[in-house]
Each structure stands twice: as structure tokens, then as C-alpha cells.
Structure 1
């Protein structure tokens, strides 16, 4: 029996993916080659959820005397030192601060995963303020430096005290790339060893079409957002947070912003609100959020402008649907009327490649988690994607869940996409008693760990990864790196 099982797995593997042989190594098409720059210094910029502070992280840093990570509001081309009576202040927290994403009640700020598991470093490893009487300037002094950090470890995730204004994100267009802030790792002479920026990814699929066009969506690493429609425009959590918003909101960008910054899987929970003229709304549990029409319009405008492919994953239907299919039929008709010609025809199936989809000049896949409706509307609906949800409240439990579902993943032999739900879920009484401090705090405690876990270990075999407050992760950068190394024949 066991031998038959292994034969079946081998046949499934060969039928789902051709085998490619190079340099005496056998690789599965759609898998990723090992990175050639694994030891290269890398730098990332993210945004915390609670206070929307910029976060700087790095790996493979030399951490030599005189090294600095400098944050600027313009692209720095050069750095030089100038004399001053006081040094450039560090935008830093004390090691007992609770505001950093690299911290929680049990740990200090400055620690990194060792062998995949979190291990605290000594408090002496936290970045220290500069006592030098010189300071750095960028671009001959024309570009101010807004924060400076002295790296003390080869890999760190550091929350600065620099607030990010989401008005900057609202101004992003389909032509945008870097904007707002840049982070540079420099040595004692001012040489830039690595640089990154706050960045939009409006066309990452189409820009990688030559590489990814003959792969299926199941073969890609795709960033996604959890409860994608749970946002509020122009919402400032420092001014307007309440017990409701603490546990109802899961994203800081609207749908357009999420797509512009790289998300290609949207987790859509639709409810039916009969008393309203606009009947369909996004819900988070029983909490009504944005009108569905608003969400659809932003998706439609985005794909028409960028030609990107988006999975619109409809599931749960938490309010107003009842046990019969009447409201579902109304919703499907509404989706058909609103999306129009951009809906991908299900005859392509999940086995189709990106090029197959692009050739049809269609961009939005309606993945509907209701088998009866998929059978009733075969010209409109794909079957739902599989969400692998841990329903856990701590990082250790979430890490165990994510490792488990990726350790021996039989679903990779299927063409149906799967989603790793990489977020914490508060229990009911935890929400009522505000035990967890809100979803923003929970996200800040895990998003940096999720980023490192998928970047360093799970990314090569993962498919879709959905997170709360995705701007606090490096999932998009991981997607670019992993997908660039995909094997295609």
C-alpha cells in the first residue's frame, strides 16, 4: 500500500509539472531554484500597524564599526559626513518598548529567529544612540536624513519613530515604484552597500510575463490580504481607534492601494443587508464594512489599467444569506453585472497558465466558496481556493501551523490555489475583554516573523500567503525574489 502511494505521488507530480534537468539536478517546473545571492546584504522597509511607524530590517549585514542605516525622504545617491556639535539622533525605542514590531510582552526589540525559531538576544545588542560630533548628509546636504540606526546584528528588524503618512500611498499610480522614503546601509566611508525604498508594485505580474507566463497561478508565490474589505478611508488609529475598530479593521490601504502594492489575492466576505438601497456589503464577522460596489469598482479599474490578474475569493457569506440559495443567486447576478467582461471564463480552469488568461483579455477570477453556485453558474464562477486557517492566538501556534501545512503539502499536486492564512485570530472572549490589544498589536507581533519565515524558509514552496496589515510584511519582496527563480520549461 505504501509503495502504491509513492507511485501515485510520483505520477501526480509528473502529470502536474514537467521535470527539468540542469547541472545534474532534477527540478520540478514551477518550483524555485536556490537563490544565488543568499549571503548578500539585503534591506527592507515596512510600516507598523499600531502607530504606522516605518520599520527597517536587514540581513547579512557586516555590522562593522562605523556602519549606519540611514532613512531619507528622497532617493540618496551619495552620503558624506560633516562636523556638528551633536550627532544625528537615532530614531529608536528602548528595549522594553512595546511599540516595535520586533517586540511583545515577553521579548526585547533586538532579536531574530535562530534556525527558524525565535530566540531573544541580549539587551546589549539593541541599537545605541550616536555620540559622535559628526553627522551624515545625503546628496551634498540637499536631502535631509530623518533617522539613523547603528546596526549591531547581522539581521535585525527595527521600528523607527518616523510616522508614515498614508496620503503618500493614496497618490500611488500604475506608473509608481519607489516613493516617500528610502533606507540605505552605508559603511564608515559613506559607501552605499544596500538600498531599499517604500515601493508600489502595480504591474509585477505583467513585468515578469516572460518568466511567469507559462506557469499557473498555483505555481506562483502570491501575496494576499486577509479580510481585504475591512478598511476605512482616511482612518487614523491614533485618533479614532475604538474597541470595534480594534478588532474589525484588518488593512490600512483600500482595495486599490492593496493591489497597487502587490496583493493579487483578495479575501472577500460578503453580507446581504436588506434594509439598505445598496444590498451587498463587505463584512468582518457581523461588522458591516465597505459597500461591495466600491470594492468591485476599484478592482475593475485596477485590472483595466494594469492588465494584472486578480483572484477575487468570495467566502463565508456571514450575514443575510440564510440556508437557501436565493441571495446567492442575487449576488452572482450582481457580480456578473458589475464586473462585466473582465471576469475570467471558468472554461480555462485552474490548470490554465497566466498566458492563457491574458490571451482571453480577462483578468478577474471569481473564486466562489459554494459548490452549488459554481455548478449552477459554470460560465462565471471558479471553485473557491482553499484557505488553510490556523485559528490560533499566539506566534508559536501560528508558526507551528504554517510549518505543518508547508512540510508535506499534498495540495501542491493540484492546480487549485491554496492560501496560507498567516495571521492571528482572537477568540470571542478575547475580543470582548480586549485581551489581545487589537488586531494591529497582534499583527505587529507576528508580521515581521511571518516575513522572515517565508523569506528564509517556506517561500519556495508556498502559493498564496494572506496577512493582516500587509504593509507590515515583506511578502511582496519575497514574491519578486521567489517568482524570479521559478523553473519554466
Structure 2
């Protein structure tokens, strides 16, 4: 609730009075800060069950904090109803001191709201955030402390352009995915090569703005998105999904990081040239040229928008980029190769302190756990399990500790964390 000046005290008194007496008529919630006690969010399990997960902030130190008694899941916004609305799930907050509860309600793969379900010939989709029919609320007796829906944010940069305009691309928090194209495969090793369970179009629609891509070449079959030497899906359809999204949401800045070229093992200059011709044909007219922009913390959003270009194509080969002025230099990725949560956090904290971007103003923390050779041999600690182990922690690290010190944060199974919403809130709230 936003309150200003001498009316604040009266507003608080009236709000509490109305809240306790007429909970069905509440149109605002008590909690407004992203890291406040009782703040809630929904995630989707990184495991195959895709169960909805209830999450809430348990740190309650301020005198004004309302410590929640109950966390509830609804299929409609409980603030919009005048009659009593029974929750689908309700838990006592004190029984779950970590602020986390996995329900038995499957999210699955529902249609994207706001007319954002992908079609090749689509020409319009609705701007703004759009909710799925899942709402989480924290309650103190009959008062709602906070309520949030599980939502897509396809135009979050445009929606907040008045706040983002003067900020620089290398100084904001950018939500990303690791091995972004590894979302489907028929390989018997799928548990060790699938890093996402949503395709790139869906990632962009939810609000992801950094895509980590690895490319392989297979002769007459052309270029594929790979996970290491395992090919996942053809590259051209992926590029066309990115293009379509950019056409529908032209003020959303998308960072494409062509970070590795794992197949064949000798990815020759001729193959690089062929790949760049393909990228040129598909994306060149939407590509932001880096000339004069790869210094310091990079360009402001206003500077980018003034050029009417929305795709930044980074290419991890300095010799190649020097011959193509529309390509950006490589983005430095900090990848820990850890399978322990504590070790990963220590590695990333060191990277935050020691990073020093030189060629490209943007830099990326790869905040995912990595299976080791024995995990693959004995079928333990697969990518879903590891993402499930770490994703909740990544949300807390970024929200509570790192929100003013990082740039790109990339994760596996991104719906298992709340990085998109944390990034949006951080970028609006923090002055860099």
C-alpha cells in the first residue's frame, strides 16, 4: 500500500479496521516490499511432477511486520471476491520454518494467457502481466498480508520504461536461463541434457531476457541447438521464435549469447562463417550494433530504444566478432561446476567480487548445480534434482543479498525460482 504525507497514519488505521471487519472487500494488501515478512510467491517444481510450490519470506524483524499464520493457494484472486473463497490448499506457516511447501497440484504446460501462445502468423498479443489461475496469499487471521499470482511478464521492460530508461544494461539484474535451448530431447540421457522444461518462446514470454545457446553443425541437416555434443532441436525455428517475440514486444531487450560451438569438435572458420550468415539472414535487421556501446556498464535503455533495435547478439569468438560489426564481444560466464549448494554460493560470491568485464559490459552468473561423471554413471543427481535443490536458494540470494551487485543470473528449470519477479522489483527499486 502506497501512502504519503500526513494521511499515512489515518490510512493505516482505516485499512486495519476494514481488513479485520470486511476481509472480502480488501483491494490492497499490507505488504509492499519485495523482501518483507510474509511476502509470497509461487514456483513450479523443477521435478517432473511440476507441482505448484508455495514460498514466503520468513524473516520478520521490523516492529510493523505482520507474521503470517496461514499460507493459502486459490484459483482466483482472493482480493476480487466479496464472498468467502475457500482455498485449494492451506498450510500453517509455523509448521514450515523455511517458508516453502510443495503442493500436489500440477501446473503442467497450460496455454499462455494474454494471447501469448505461439503461432507463426500471430500479429498481436496483450502487453502487461497476465495471471494463470493460481494465487498465493499470506494471512494473519482474516487479513491478507500479501497476495501474488503465478504470471507471465512478456513486456516487463516496456511496462517499466519510465524506471529503466536511464539505467545501463550492464547494471541491472537480467533474468536468464542456462543451456536455454535444451528443453526437449529423445536421448536416453535426457535427465542429464535437459536444463529447461519450457521452450525458448515460453521463456521469453515469462520474462527471461538472456539466452545461453550452444550450436552444433550436422552436414545436410544444418545447425542445431546443442547440449554439449547432444543435439536438441534445429536452430532456425528457435531463431524465428525469438524474432516473432521481438516483433510483438519490440522494447524488450533480448541478449543472445552464442557461447559454445561443441560439434564438430573442430568448429572451423568456414562453419563460423556459415552460422553467422544464418544469424544475419534471420536477425540482422533487429540487431543492436555494439559500436561505442561496449564500454563501462554499456548503453542505457533509452539509448538502445532510440535505435529501434532490440536483440543483442553476443558471439564467443573474438576473432570472428572483429570482422562483423553487428556482433557483440563474448559475455563472460562464471560457471562453478559444483553440485553442492554451499560451494556454488561461495563460488558465485567470489565471482561477484572479482568480476571485471573488459570486452562486454554484461556478465553472467551461472547459478545452477552440475552433475559429475559418477552421477551420470549411477543415474543420481540428475539436472532436475539438482535444480530442485538449488533454485529456492538462488531466489533468496538474489532477493536478499545480491540484487544491487549482479548483472545476468542464469538458472536451470527457471520456474523453480522467482528470479524474474525479483529482477523486475530490484530494477525498479534500486538506483544504480
TM-score in terms of structure 1 length: 0.73
Corresponding residue pairs, total = 381
1:70 aligns with 72
1:269 aligns with 214
Contact 1:172 1:200 (8 Å CA) reproduced: no
1:94 aligns with none
1:49 to 46, 51, 69: 46
Aligned counterparts, 1:332-411, within 5 A: 332-350=276-294, 351-378=298-325, 380-406=326-352, 408-411=353-356
Once the two structures are TM-superposed, the CA of residue 273 in structure 1 deviates from its matched residue by: 0.9
Encode CA deviations 1:25-75: one digit per residue, 9 max, x unaligned. Answer: xxxxxxxxxx97754431010001112111111114779999221111112
Contact 2:113 2:131 (8 Å CA) reproduced: no
Once the two structures are TM-superposed, the CA of residue 155 in structure 1 deviates from its matched residue by: 5.0
Instruction: Tell me the distance in 2 between the aligned counterparts of 1:414 and 1:212.
Output: 23
2:201 aligns with 256
Aligned counterparts, 1:74-473, within 5 A: 74-77=76-79, 140=83, 145-152=87-94, 156-169=99-112, 173=116, 174-175=125-126, 176-188=129-141, 190-232=142-184, 243-276=188-221, 279-307=222-250, 308-320=252-264, 322-350=266-294, 351-378=298-325, 380-406=326-352, 408-411=353-356, 416-436=361-381, 438-473=382-417
Contact 2:165 2:302 (8 Å CA) reproduced: yes
Instruction: Tell me the distance in 2 between the aligned counterparts of 1:214 and 1:329.
Output: 36
Instruction: Tell me the distance in 2 between the aligned counterparts of 1:396 and 1:346.
Output: 37
SS at match of 2:263: coil
Instruction: Tell me the distance in 2 between the aligned counterparts of 1:218 and 1:244.
Output: 36
Once the two structures are TM-superposed, the CA of residue 368 in structure 1 deviates from its matched residue by: 0.1
Contact 1:393 1:427 (8 Å CA) reproduced: yes
SS at match of 1:205: helix
SS at match of 2:232: strand
Once the two structures are TM-superposed, the CA of residue 433 in structure 1 deviates from its matched residue by: 2.1
Once the two structures are TM-superposed, the CA of residue 321 in structure 1 deviates from its matched residue by: 6.2
Instruction: Tell me the distance in 1 between the aligned counterparts of 2:42 and 2:115.
Output: 17
Q: Which runs of 5+ in 2 are unaligned?
A: 1-31, 117-124
Once the two structures are TM-superposed, the CA of residue 187 in structure 1 deviates from its matched residue by: 2.2
Q: Which runs of 5+ in 1 are unaligned?
A: 1-34, 79-137, 236-240
SS at match of 1:269: strand
Encode CA deviations 1:315-360: one digit per residue, 9 max, x unaligned. Answer: 1101126253000000000000011311111225232222111111
SS at match of 2:260: coil
RMSD of aligned residue pairs (Cα, Å): 2.5
Instruction: Tell me the distance in 2 between the aligned counterparts of 1:309 and 1:316.
Output: 22
Once the two structures are TM-superposed, the CA of residue 286 in structure 1 deviates from its matched residue by: 1.3
Instruction: Tell me the distance in 2 between the aligned counterparts of 1:397 and 1:37.
Output: 27
Encode CA deviations 1:413-452: one digit per residue, 9 max, x unaligned. Answer: 886211000001112332132131x111110001001111
Once the two structures are TM-superposed, the CA of residue 481 in structure 1 deviates from its matched residue by: 2.0
Contact 2:66 2:145 (8 Å CA) reproduced: no
SS at match of 1:186: strand
Contact 1:58 1:154 (8 Å CA) reproduced: no
Instruction: Tell me the distance in 2 between the aligned counterparts of 1:252 and 1:323.
Output: 28
Instruction: Tell me the distance in 2 between the aligned counterparts of 1:323 and 1:461.
Output: 35
Contact 1:170 1:257 (8 Å CA) reproduced: no
Instruction: Tell me the distance in 2 between the aligned counterparts of 1:324 and 1:64.
Output: 61
Instruction: Tell me the distance in 2 between the aligned counterparts of 1:323 and 1:75.
Output: 52
Instruction: Tell me the distance in 1 between the aligned counterparts of 2:312 and 2:398.
Output: 25
Once the two structures are TM-superposed, the CA of residue 216 in structure 1 deviates from its matched residue by: 1.8
Once the two structures are TM-superposed, the CA of residue 295 in structure 1 deviates from its matched residue by: 1.0
TM-score in terms of structure 2 length: 0.82
Contact 1:61 1:155 (8 Å CA) reproduced: no
Contact 1:168 1:180 (8 Å CA) reproduced: no
Once the two structures are TM-superposed, the CA of residue 484 in structure 1 deviates from its matched residue by: 1.1
Encode CA deviations 1:123-169: one digit per residue, 9 max, x unaligned. Answer: xxxxxxxxxxxxxxx7525x552211110166512211111121244
Which of the pair has more CA radius of gyration? Answer: 1
Once the two structures are TM-superposed, the CA of residue 208 in structure 1 deviates from its matched residue by: 1.6
Which is bigger in relative contact order (C-alpha 8 A, separation at least 6)?
Answer: 1
SS at match of 1:404: helix
Instruction: Tell me the distance in 2 between the aligned counterparts of 1:325 and 1:66.
Output: 60
